[in-house]
Structure 1
Amino acid sequence: MLGLGAFAFAAPGMLALLLALPVIYWLLRLIPPLPKLVRFPAIRLLVGLEPTEQTPMKMPWWLLLLRLLLATALILAVAKPLLNPQADLPGRGPLLLVIDDGWSSAPGWTTRIAHAERLIQRAERGGRTVVLMGTAPTPIDQATARRGALRPDETRTILRAFRPKPWPTDRTAAAAELDQMQIDLGAYAVWLSDGLEDEGAARLTERLRRFDGLQVVVPDQATTPLLLLPPVAEGRDLKVRALRPAADGPRKVAVQAADEQGRVVARIDVEFAASATQGEGVLPAPAELRNRMARLDIEAQGGAGSAVLLDERHRRRPVAIMGERATAGGQPLLQEVYFLERALDPYVSLSIGDLETVLTRNTAVLLIPDGAVPSANDREEIAKWIERGGVAVRFAGANLAAGADTLVPTRLRLGDRALGGVMSWGEPTALAEFPANSPFLGIPIPKDVRISQQVLAEPTPDLADKTWARLADGTPLVTAEKRGQGYLVLIHTTANTGWSNLSLSGLFVNMLQRLVTLSRGVAGDGVNKALKPWRTLDGFGRLGAPPAGAQILPADAAETFKPKPTTPPGLYGDENAQVAFNIGGRVGTPRPLTLPGGVATDRLSEGGETDLSRWFLLAALLLLLADLLISLWLRGLLPRAVRLGRAAPAALLLLAMFGGAPDADAQQSPPRPQFQPQPSAPAGPATRDRPGPPPLSIEQALKGSLDIRLAYILTGDKEVDDISKAGLEGLSEILRNRTSVEPADPVGLDLERDEPRLYPFIYWPVTSTQPALSPRAAASLDRYLRTGGIIFIDTRDQQLSFDRQAGGNPDLKRLLAGVETPPLVAMPPDHVLTRAFYLLSDMPGRWAGGKIWIESGGGRVNDGVTTIIIGANDYAGAWAVDQRGRGIMPVTPGGETQREMSFRVGVNLVMHALTGNYKDDQVHLPDIMQRLRR
């Protein structure tokens, strides 16, 4: 490396090419410019005229200087110029690069990777190999990266696939892995640390110090990880808390609350005192706002540790109490409504009134004290409300003990049972442990809670299944029954202090909170039963589908249960109810990293050396463009070239608008009949009054006409659209590698704005949330089908059927309601799709089996090529690959073999769209039969 102060050249040998500049100068001086092009006028106009300008025989000095500068810029670019060059790495062995890639590494991840790339570049200049490893466990759906000493270019490729993980690092395991790798002790180790201390930091540091040199890079204040804790309810508000490793002065961060669609609904500032490691802020959250919140995030952090997912435990459910509000004049300490209101008012949106008043609201839980005896008509209304998903909680008392009330989960004995007093031999009884089927499981039971009076349940075979709480003598205290989508719960004692002191304890509040949470189908706080993963967080805090192989959250997942590859943070449950499993509160308090004396440290920053090669190449390109324009100007061709440049986009626009079909062989066809799910349904008349096509932009015309591109229809579901894009990118790469088709990047289409006729093949995933097509979009799609385009509709439900009994996919029928589609039939086994490029006997996607449906009669457009193909096996999910060419979505039951077959299906679909019935020609039959005989 040749250093010139703040400027250096990594390949100084290439500067020897500057000696060729005199030769280039001499050659340019010898080559005169091309003669100027002048239109020959009539000869009589030249009589007596003297030429006022002559074309020079030599190149102008300024053009010569321009071309010499162009050559100099190219030579300097290949010499790899560097700004603020760094010294070569110490030592002679390989570079050992250790990166903390746990949840705490997400802040400043781009800066961390850029720092690592600069280190690899320095190792490459010295001709040294690189060993790269992370300290966080590898995800279960990700292949293990290559280990050991690799070339810098190979290491750079692996580094670019690195991503932060949504779980803590395991530095103890990383130190053990270093022992097994047998790295040369002369290596120079650089540890890109997240700046946090853990139980394995000392062992990893001691192991790295055995090498020839060690440098630990720690983050600065801007990239120091912050940990957001789950909020705590404070009356009607939420207290938001965040932790930082060190008290390094006053600091203020913003925390935003978002709904399920990602819209920000609230924002507050969390302030850290100068000497505090915990910051707090109060988020005003009325019931309507709190119920909309789905997550909290620290702005400008972007990691799983700075995100908290919210579930039903953090929302204020609408709860109603049947009865009259307690008043001071009516001795409130004796009224049941008073105790219920005091227990729930800070945590729920509470209303009190008669049945007609409370059931007109969007009520989730209805509390019925014994004093508010519902009439026969009221009981019928409450029973219907329970069937629709409500939770009714009744309390026993003298009125219920009198009998004749059928709104109870189990039959009751007439009268009540006294467990204490002068007329009873017994004593007030304590509660037994909650059974395993109870939503109260896990709530601690105070020793001083006593029940002195209760109503008894008649013994029945199913009484044990309906019992959620018992007394010490085994008699039921809480019974419940599921009715329809809701629950009917009976607490066999009063809601006041008349029959027990339960209402004076914290157990009463906890039990009522669990019953309120039950209104959405989640028992308790979610730790009393195992839940399967529904949505999980990645290292950047983005919520998505769980990784393949993720396990259920165990029933005993206490606060010490940490996220890991098999149980990443996220939402566990199903689409009806979920429990949030966050990093905050489960990984311990962050503490600053402690290093022994003598260890060299550095700060993680965006500074360092800068490679200027790309800028010199850009300068050379600009000079080349300027030289081209000047040459055209000197020859008198520049105005003509400008006119042609202006006319080219207009010509492409006219070609795209009036060219018709996306395929060269596409022809006009008669109107299509209305959509019929039965293959034998007759064709109906065509709809003539259609909106015109959407306006076509020049950019869209150029993109669609200059290159072959696969397209997909945007559904509005970001996850589905991302999979469609990744799937068509993977299929395009397969086409480029295996066929003569060279497709460009796929395009997402919005039928309201985009013109589909520019694309020969369109993939359409069907979703239940996708809105129905407008008349303009339906007309645009219908024109596409009439002019020869092929659209591949994927219902992704694995059970597509068009027989008379099943009736077809309802979402598909809804989306195609305004499109003139032909009758459909199951694809025969000898259809040209099975041999358009590959010979196929099945058409699998992510799933196998099922049928492919095509237009009946072989199609009437494009020489009998079918224009609509419908499948159900989630083909884009099977085609979707990451940057390294590996499948993103799991494929069942055939695994990678089935993925290969699904790629072949995609190749056949595209080749059929581009070549039509080419392989139906009889000339190919001998070759096909010979291939089949093999």
Structure 2
Amino acid sequence: MAGLGALGFSAPWLLLGLAALPVIWWLVRLTPPAPRQTRFPALALLLDLPQRQETPERTPWWLILLRLLLAGLVIIGLAGPVLDPSRAAGGSGPLLIVIDDGWAAASHWRERIAALEPRILAAESAGRPVRLLTTAPDAAGPRPAPALTSYAELKGAVAALSPKPWPVDRAAAARTLETLPDDAVGESLWLDDGLEDGHAETLAGALRRFGPVTRLSLGPGHAAFALDAPRLVAEGLAVDVARAEADGPRRLTLVARSDSGQVLGREVTEIGPDEAGHSVTIDLPPELRNKAVRIDIPEEASAAATRLMDGRWRRRIVGLAFEGGDEALRPLVSEAYFLERALSPFADVRRAPLARLLEAPPSVIVLPDIGHVPAAQRPALEAFIDKGGVVLRFAGARFAASADDLLPVAIRSGDRALGGALSWTEPASIAPFAADSPFAGLVPSPEVKVFRQVLAEPSLELDARTWARLTDGTPLITGARRGAGLLVLVHTSANSDWSSLALSGLFVDLLRRITSLAEGEGGAIEGNRALPPLASLDGFGQLGAVAQGAGPVAANRIAETPAGPQSPPGFYGDPAARQALNLSPDLDSLAPLPDMAGVTVALPEVAAAVALGPWLILAALALLAFDILVALRLTGRLVPTALGALALVLAQPVERARAMEAAEAAADIHLAYVVTGDAATDEMSEAGLRGLSAALKERTSVEPGAPVGLDLGTDELALYPLLYWPMVAGFDPGPEAIARLDGFIKAGGVVLFDTRDIAQGTGTLPGGAGSAGDETLRLVLSRLDVPPLVPVPADHVLTKSFYLLQNFPGRYEGGQVWVEANASPANDGVSGYVIGPNDWAAAWAADEQGRPLAALEPGGSRQREMALRFGINLVLYALTGNYKADQVHVPALLERLGQ
């Protein structure tokens, strides 16, 4: 693209047409004379008329200039002029583009690449050679010095780039540049991530050797956030969030998710303008907290804003079978006292009778010195073990006198005393744990002594079921799998009567290992066992397939292993026993990039390149119309009557188009949305209904036309069966518009009210106090004659009007959807109110190529498909009414369900 300064031309050869302007001037300088009007009273008068030869009149000079300007505009417009401010700042010589592609660049990746594009186009226009260098390490190993590349290859390489889930290594990038000669680069453009890694000055020094250096930065408001390791607290999970610099207020959402991506809890926090970060607590009951495997910040979408969790972050619920209340808990005497204090640091202990524990079974049930399990609870306890529970039993006086057979190994009657006046033996210590024991890696203290124990009957499986032994070889802890669960026996008491084990720190470690075996979270991932990669995080914090180049990590080193190409963040191990490796940046060391001598900081271009050609052609057409009117007037063919007729003709199509719009809306089905005045919201509403209309055409017999944006105060609502209204803070259509909407609903129309914030709880009526969307909805509903509302029943027609559905996700999932409790029979039982918070338009929205326009939470093609199915069900529900509630359809639906 050739050009002059900031002005370029896509077809500069067409400017040669300007040389034809003199010829055009010669052609247009004359105009035919206007006809002379002469009265003709009689033929005899013709004889007296003088004979004069008519000569053409000269064209006015201003008309000639007008026509020359018209021709010039056409020629220049066809040459494709483009006004590009970035062209005016171009340099000379080869250009080196350096891109920081570490984790800190992920949260605003698209903005960074968009800021780079005009710079690349300017360099391409200037015909400058170009090189590309990225600073994050690659799985392929050290990269060679950047070679010259074509702009087609450069654009493809930049488009294929994605942020890495580990930090940049600017020192290695600087070493890569050492092999280039001084004249290999004339100017450097550095697209930074805004974060100091300790070697920014090293890279800047390497770039200054070649010439001018420009650092392209996004500026304030784009500092990357990172999460620290979650902490278990009484309320749920506490996590620290921080950024490199306090660059303005930010609103963040921390979300805790399960293994399937289900949102378990969320907490919105406001980061002050002068605040680098703070601690946030996500309220979660123990049952949900133990299901959490991930905490992330959806607004950030980076590996550092994502925290994976394994069994180390789970506080299992341990039930302690104990009769009596606090008054029966004797300190330093009862077994329940020692067990409760040993389990409390890492588990939620519930102390209750066995029958009550089995009503809502925990992960582990502990039976301290119970000889016979009551017959009434024995079947339920066995079923608990078979389904995956862990039962931990301790010996004692009652156990030794009358033990039942619910044990991992057979037990001899009575007990064995070690030491004492009538014994030849001494109290025994605990032997080192075997490598295949669940306690491998723990070191027993020789000071822990066992005075009394119950002995196991010798058998072929005794060795395999022995987890811990005394130094004399007798079993101390035995365990066996039963069904999907475990049955474990400690052959001594849980207090200090039979041993000093309960007084030692080893007692806490043993209980931690045993409880970690619940629900398949193997506490046996210890030692130097090599854990293979199971799933990896990408730079945007998405968990997926194992990254290329990922290798195994030692189990005892996973907490200290830094994230990198050979050890990307993710899960390691196997599905039954896995551990999480996180990016884990040091929040205290996060710092912004400093100002560096010889490095110019530039912000993204505020003005994009503008194509001037279409506007010049449009101006030429306007001048052509004016020229025609002038020519008609000079030749006498344009009179006031003709001007009036022309104005009438020009005005008529406006009325015709308006009438045709109403006729088209009445003749065809159109989905409609409320125009809120917020451009981004209205564009998303239109794109969402366009995507839903395309799905309806593809899957059903409904073929809707283009979506229509409606003004509630002026447009006719009765022409549209379904109206989508996204709640926007501050939008108030006024009482007259609300009254028209109320009449529309009572006449059979359906309105989908979408608060788009998933702030509604499962037990809160819509429109209650909460988010901005809820506040707007409350204001709207307060002006409408709203009937009683209920959450969508399981047998509602919305769940079966086309697809069989159980939930109604959109961009978010989990929000409650409300409908009328008793829809009017006059409207065929159709609820005019459908209210929810899931942001359905964003889930339906797609561009012209069918690509989604918005990311979903937790995401996935399945969620987008279910959102489209809900939309199809809603449209068919609005069009066909309540006929699917007829019992004649039940056999067909049961057959579809496979019942």
The TM-score bracket by the shorter chain reads 0.5 to 0.7
Shift in Å, 1:815? 5.6
Alpha-carbon distance in 2 for matches of 1:516, 1:272: 41
**Where in structure 2 are the equivalents of 1:42-441 lying within 5 Å?**
71=73, 75=77, 78-83=80-85, 87-89=89-91, 92=93, 94-138=94-138, 148-178=147-177, 184-198=183-197, 204-217=203-216, 220=219, 222-245=221-244, 254-260=252-258, 261-263=261-263, 265-267=265-267, 269=269, 279-291=278-290, 293-298=292-297, 300-325=299-324, 327-328=326-327, 331-345=330-344, 347-371=346-370, 373-375=372-374, 378-402=377-401, 404-420=403-419, 428-441=427-440
Alpha-carbon distance in 2 for matches of 1:750, 1:464: 58
**Where in structure 2 are the equivalents of 1:858-873 lying within 5 Å?**
none
Count of residue pairs the alignment pairs up = 668
1:181/1:495 Cα in 2 relative to 1: closer, same or farther (>3 Å)? farther
Q: Quote the residue 1:680 is aligned against.
A: none
Q: Quote the residue 1:582 is aligned against.
A: 582
Alpha-carbon distance in 2 for matches of 1:88, 1:714: 60
SS in structure 2 opposite 1:190? strand
Q: Quote the residue 2:607 is aligned against.
A: 610
Shift in Å, 1:620? 6.4
Shift in Å, 1:392? 0.6
SS in structure 2 opposite 1:610? coil
8 Å contact kept, 1:367–1:393: yes
Aligned residue identity for 2:355: E
Q: Percent identity?
A: 35
Report Cα offsets for 1:317-359 as digits up to 9, x if no partner.
3321112256346533211112222233464443222322111
8 Å contact kept, 1:78–1:613: no
Alpha-carbon distance in 1 for matches of 2:96, 2:289: 49
Alpha-carbon distance in 1 for matches of 2:285, 2:435: 35
Q: Quote the residue 2:681 is aligned against.
A: none
1:2/1:501 Cα in 2 relative to 1: closer, same or farther (>3 Å)? same
1:8/1:106 Cα in 2 relative to 1: closer, same or farther (>3 Å)? same
Report Cα offsets for 1:102-132 as digits up to 9, x if no partner.
2122132223213322332332243212211
Alpha-carbon distance in 2 for matches of 1:212, 1:521: 60
Q: Quote the residue 1:9 is aligned against.
A: 7
Alpha-carbon distance in 1 for matches of 2:428, 2:664: 92
SS in structure 1 opposite 2:89? coil
**Where in structure 2 are the equivalents of 1:500-519 lying within 5 Å?**
500-519=499-518
8 Å contact kept, 1:239–1:283: yes
8 Å contact kept, 2:70–2:623: no
Quick check: 467-476 or 478-487, which moved more? 467-476
8 Å contact kept, 1:77–1:613: no
8 Å contact kept, 2:214–2:601: yes
Superposition RMSD in Å:
5.7
Shift in Å, 1:368? 0.8
Q: Quick check: 1:497 aligned with 2:496? A: yes
1:714/1:28 Cα in 2 relative to 1: closer, same or farther (>3 Å)? farther
Aligned residue identity for 1:405: D
8 Å contact kept, 2:389–2:518: yes
Q: Quote the residue 1:456 is aligned against.
A: 455
TM-score (norm 1): 0.59
**Where in structure 2 are the equivalents of 1:640-659 lying within 5 Å?**
none
Q: Quote the residue 2:539 is aligned against.
A: 539
**Which of residues 677, 701, 704 in structure 2 aligns to 1:697?**
704
Alpha-carbon distance in 2 for matches of 1:653, 1:330: 73
8 Å contact kept, 1:11–1:80: yes
**Where in structure 2 are the equivalents of 1:830-845 lying within 5 Å?**
none
1:415/1:610 Cα in 2 relative to 1: closer, same or farther (>3 Å)? same
Report Cα offsets for 1:193-247 as digits up to 9, x if no partner.
334444765654554343234344566453233321121123444331234446x
8 Å contact kept, 1:401–1:415: yes
Aligned residue identity for 1:158: A
Report Cα offsets for 1:332-389 as digits up to 9, x if no partner.
3211112222233464443222322111113221111114742456444422321111
SS in structure 2 opposite 1:384? helix
**Where in structure 2 are the equivalents of 1:605-754 lying within 5 Å?**
605=603, 607-608=604-605, 610-614=607-611, 617=614, 633-634=649-650, 695-699=702-706, 750=868
1:403/1:748 Cα in 2 relative to 1: closer, same or farther (>3 Å)? closer
8 Å contact kept, 1:551–1:566: yes
Shift in Å, 1:589? 5.7
Q: Quote the residue 2:682 is aligned against.
A: none
Alpha-carbon distance in 1 for matches of 2:29, 2:867: 54
Aligned residue identity for 1:611: A
Alpha-carbon distance in 1 for matches of 2:347, 2:433: 24
1:405/1:120 Cα in 2 relative to 1: closer, same or farther (>3 Å)? same
8 Å contact kept, 1:241–1:270: no
1:349/1:10 Cα in 2 relative to 1: closer, same or farther (>3 Å)? same
TM-score (norm 2): 0.61
Alpha-carbon distance in 1 for matches of 2:280, 2:386: 41
8 Å contact kept, 1:451–1:499: yes
Shift in Å, 1:18? 10
Aligned residue identity for 1:610: A
8 Å contact kept, 1:525–1:579: no
SS in structure 2 opposite 1:174? helix
8 Å contact kept, 2:102–2:539: yes
Quick check: 216-225 or 105-114, which moved more? 216-225
Report Cα offsets for 1:258-284 as digits up to 9, x if no partner.
33345372315487997x977333444
Alpha-carbon distance in 2 for matches of 1:599, 1:418: 82
SS in structure 1 opposite 2:517? helix
Alpha-carbon distance in 1 for matches of 2:560, 2:131: 34
8 Å contact kept, 2:253–2:299: no
SS in structure 1 opposite 2:468? strand
Report Cα offsets for 1:411-455 as digits up to 9, x if no partner.
334444444555556555554444333333445656754444333
Shift in Å, 1:551? 5.0
Q: Quote the residue 2:790 is aligned against.
A: none
SS in structure 1 opposite 2:163? coil
8 Å contact kept, 1:326–1:332: no
1:416/1:83 Cα in 2 relative to 1: closer, same or farther (>3 Å)? same
Q: Quote the residue 1:564 is aligned against.
A: 564
Shift in Å, 1:390? 1.0
8 Å contact kept, 1:84–1:609: no
SS in structure 2 opposite 1:80? strand
Report Cα offsets for 1:792-817 as digits up to 9, x if no partner.
xxxxxxxxxxxxxxxxxxxx998686
Report Cα offsets for 1:259-313 as digits up to 9, x if no partner.
3345372315487997x97733344433244245443223632211011123443
Alpha-carbon distance in 2 for matches of 1:471, 1:615: 89
8 Å contact kept, 2:239–2:280: yes
Shift in Å, 1:527? 5.0
1:253/1:423 Cα in 2 relative to 1: closer, same or farther (>3 Å)? farther
Alpha-carbon distance in 2 for matches of 1:139, 1:576: 28
SS in structure 2 opposite 1:698? coil
1:191/1:637 Cα in 2 relative to 1: closer, same or farther (>3 Å)? closer
Q: Larger Rg: 1 or 2?
A: 2
SS in structure 2 opposite 1:123? helix
Shift in Å, 1:164? 1.0
Alpha-carbon distance in 2 for matches of 1:417, 1:271: 64
Aligned residue identity for 1:81: L
Report Cα offsets for 1:564-595 as digits up to 9, x if no partner.
3454323446666654332226x786443777
SS in structure 2 opposite 1:333? coil
Quick check: 295-304 or 415-424, which moved more? 415-424
Shift in Å, 1:602? 1.9
